[in-house]
Amino acid sequence: MSMPSDSHFEVIVIGAGVAGIYQIKRLADLGVHATVLEAAPDLGGTWYNNRYPGARFDSESYTYGYSFSKEVLEEWHWLEKYSPQPENLKYLNFVAEKFDLRRHMQFNCRVEAAHFDEANVQWRLTVSDGRRLSCRFLIMAVGLLSMPTLPRLEGMARFKGRSFHTFDWPHEPVDLRGKRVAVIGTGATGIQVIGEIQDKVGDLTIFQRRPNWSAPLNNSRISPEDMAAIRARYDEIFATCARTPGGFEHEPDRRGFNEVSREERLALWDQLYDEPGFGIWLRNFREIFTDEDANQEISDYIADRIRRRVKDPAVAEKLIPRDHGFGVQRVPLETNYFEAYNRDNVHLVDLGETPLVRVTETGLETTERAFDFDVIVYATGFDAITGAYDRIDIRGVGGEELRDAWRDNPSTYLGIFIHGFPNLLMPNGPQSGSASTNYPRGIEVGVDWCTAFLEHMWANGLIRAEASKEAEAEWTAHVRMMYARMLMRKAKSWFTGYNSNVAGHEEGTIRYFVYNGGMPKYVTTINACAANGYEGVTLEGPTLGAPPGAGGEARLTG
Ligand code: NA7
């Protein structure tokens, strides 16, 4: 009996986060010789890395967990409606241990290069420990927000206190008591950190470049009785998530914005603002995403709520965004964020007025003055969606580099395949539906689809799959076209590829990163592709005359 090789695999999965864990579960169940390569010392992805105070779900916990296992659903008890990072990491470990998935994972194993070997129809990988591995199929489960970015500021290494990006928050507790703390960035992460540490630090100074719209999280505990009621409803919960554009329980208000009176709209918003979670964003009228006037009205409403919560009117005005409307980028959910600015130990520095100039040995300097700190927290975001791909030297047919192919914009077929990069699959890639949804709901769809695709390949003796240039061009044009309807296209956010800290991603360069048609349409589209014999993907066997029923076109390779 031949032993499976430890350097060649049928499938290599890159990344042991939410997607990688489920992907390897599916492959292990099929008995496929597969492994997961993970750069971090352990599994968990986002929930392994982001250990900053206040890190938690903005999805309802019970809609975020995996739906694939009845046993897991029965056994796991979510403790909070929006579960915090330590609990989320515990959950992912629970799942991995339950199905004994760790034995299929390799940690501290960063993939540095992946080159397609056309002659042998294989991917050849170089990993950080110097090993060379190969596989027939490569699955990218690298995460959407896994490449943190720091500002490009002079003197950053000079600072003598402690400083870290929120993604790299130390694993051992950081004692902030009595400390002078700076937070740079007021995205979802900054807003979570600020809400959590405001009353636990000596002094907190927030460096805000542009304010972000945000709304209350309204978190609560989940009692054993609540959890029993949730368990009884799981089928219904997941069915609702599958039906809604964002993969949440929140269903859009399908009445027309102008079909109801202004009083009715205000009454709805009063109710939604005080409800938990994304209700105010996703249970709202659909026009707020597409119609300037509707968007202005909801933005004015939220601005008033901010004014009611912040005592100093001058500070309140600084916290109200002017350059984009409510909901056109992902809405951070907060706990006591605006109230933080009512505290004597919390100060706001508006970088729009006085930009940062440099980091000094003792703190930060703006165009106006110098500040001294013990700790600087960089909550400055990510090289989103394509950043984790760009970091790996990925080369396809003829040595084409993926980072070159995607320099201006990603281009994919269904967010799953890339022309010129055969046998590479993305269960939650750029331009997929899963990139803009309640993440695990999209991931399960993507992983199930990719797994069924691989089963089709194996069942039909096929060894090479490549999206056609035409199919890719058509999908990418479709994704692009859908942005035309959305006010989102005007926002400078990670959804449109904006990041001032990454060369080429600064202002003025919109990137078509996500499929905006909602999960239900996306699922219909990818299922139709599968039902049509994987239309748009050229499938090949090892020799001419691959088995019948193979779909696509068979020709000689290798
Ligand atoms: P975001 O949403 O990209 O936010 C990053 C924040 O950092 C944002 O306020 C930026 O200001 C600010 N930033 C970035 N670079 C700088 C520099 N150089 N100087 C000053 N301020 C800067 O990332 P998050 O981590 O908060 O959230 C990401 C997602 O995680 C979120 O949507 C959730 O889905 C979970 P800007 O607005 O660009 O002016």
3-state DSSP assignment of residue 524: helix
Name the CA dihedral angle for 320, 323, 326, 329, rounded to a multiple of 10 degrees.
Answer: -120
- d(C-alpha 130, C-alpha 110), whole Å: 10
Q: What is the pLDDT of residue 2?
A: 63
In short, whether 430's Cβ falls inside 6 Å of ligand 1 is no
At 52, list the tokens. 């900053």
Q: Give the mean pLDDT of the chain.
A: 94
Average pLDDT on 416-441 reads 94
Task: Name which residue sits closest to atom 21 of ligand 1, judged by CA.
Answer: 185
pLDDT digits (tens, 9 = 90+) for 255-298: 999 999 999 999 999 999 999 999 999 999 999 999 999 999 99
pLDDT tens-digit profile of 111-145? 999 999 999 999 999 999 999 999 999 999 999 99
Q: Is the CB of 429 under 6 A from ligand 1?
A: no
Q: What is the pLDDT of residue 548?
A: 38
Instruction: Find the mean pLDDT for residues 104-117.
Output: 98
Residues in a beta bridge with 36:
13, 105
Quote the tokens at residue 111. 């993939």
Q: What is the pLDDT of residue 382?
A: 96
**Rounded to a whole number, what is the distance in angstroms from the first to the last CA of the chain?**
27
Q: What is the pLDDT of residue 487?
A: 87
The three-class DSSP label of residue 133 is: strand
At 153-193, the pLDDT tens digits run 999 999 999 999 999 999 999 999 999 999 999 999 999 99
pLDDT at 169: 98
Q: In the structure, what pLDDT confidence band is assigned to residue 553 with cuts at 50, 70 and 90? A: very low
Find the mean pLDDT for residues 14-33. 98
The token duo for 505 is 């991603």
Contact 14/84 with Cβ under 8 angstroms?
Answer: no
* Distance (Å, whole) CA 322 – CA 303: 10
Place of tokens 């005005």: 317
Pocket flag, ligand 1, residue 500 (CB < 6 Å): yes
pLDDT for 556:
31
Q: pLDDT at position 4, please?
A: 81
Q: Which residue minimizes the CA distance to atom 37 of ligand 1? A: 210
Residues 6+ apart with CB under 8 A from 320: 211, 303, 306, 307
Angle CA(485)–CA(488)–CA(491) in degrees, nearest 5?
A: 140
Q: Measured in angstroms, how far is the CA atom of residue 315 from the centroid of ligand 1?
A: 20
> Predicted confidence band at 44 (pLDDT cuts at 50, 70, 90)?
very high
- C-beta 210 within 6 A of ligand 1: yes
Separation CA 151–CA 149 (nearest Å): 7
Report the distance separating Cα 221 and Cα 230, nearest Å: 13
DSSP state of 208: E
Least confident of 31-45, 437-451, 460-474, 481-495: 481-495
Q: Which atom of ligand 1 is nearest to the CA of 498?
A: 38
Residue 383 CB contacts under 8 Å (≥ 6 apart), including other chains: 147, 148, 149, 390, 499, 501, 502, 505
Q: 195, 334 in Cβ contact below 8 A?
A: yes
- 554 has pLDDT over 80: no
Ligand 1 site, residue 246, Cβ cutoff 6 A: no
Task: State whether the beta carbon of 151 lies less than 6 angstroms from ligand 1.
Answer: yes
- Given a cut of 60, whether residue 219 has pLDDT beyond it is yes
The residue to mutate among 167, 189, 488, having the most atoms of ligand 1 within 8 angstroms of its beta carbon, is 189
Q: How confident is the model at residue 545 (pLDDT cuts 50, 70, 90)?
A: very low
| CA 313 to ligand 1 center in whole angstroms | 24
Question: pLDDT at position 259, please?
Answer: 96
Residues contacting residue 451 through CB under 8 Å, at least 6 positions apart: 23, 26, 27, 30
**Cβ 189 under 6 angstroms from ligand 1:** yes
Residues 6+ apart with CB under 8 A from 119: 558
d(CA 234, CA 63): 9
Phi, psi dihedrals of residue 98, rounded to the nearest 5° = -55, -40
The Å distance, Cα 136 to ligand 1 centre, comes to 38
- Of the pLDDT bands very low, low, confident and very high (cuts 50, 70, 90), residue 5 is confident
Work out the number of other CB atoms within 10 angstroms of the CB of residue 326.
24
pTM: 0.95
Give the residue, out of 51, 380, 500, with the most ligand 1 atoms within 8 A of its beta carbon, to mutate for a pocket test. Answer: 380
Distance of CA 169 to the CA centre of its chain: 18
Per the CB < 8 A criterion, the answer to whether 176 and 204 are in contact is: no
Residue 500 predicted with pLDDT over 90: no
pLDDT tens, position by position, 335-375? 999 999 999 999 999 999 999 999 999 999 999 999 999 99
User: In this structure, are residues 113 and 390 in contact, taking their beta carbons and an 8 Å threshold?
Assistant: no
Least confident of 81-95, 161-175, 486-500: 486-500
Q: Is 184 in the pocket of ligand 1 (CB under 6 A)?
A: yes
Nearest-atom index, ligand 1, CA of 188: 26
Phi, psi (rounded to 5 degrees) for 11: -135, 135
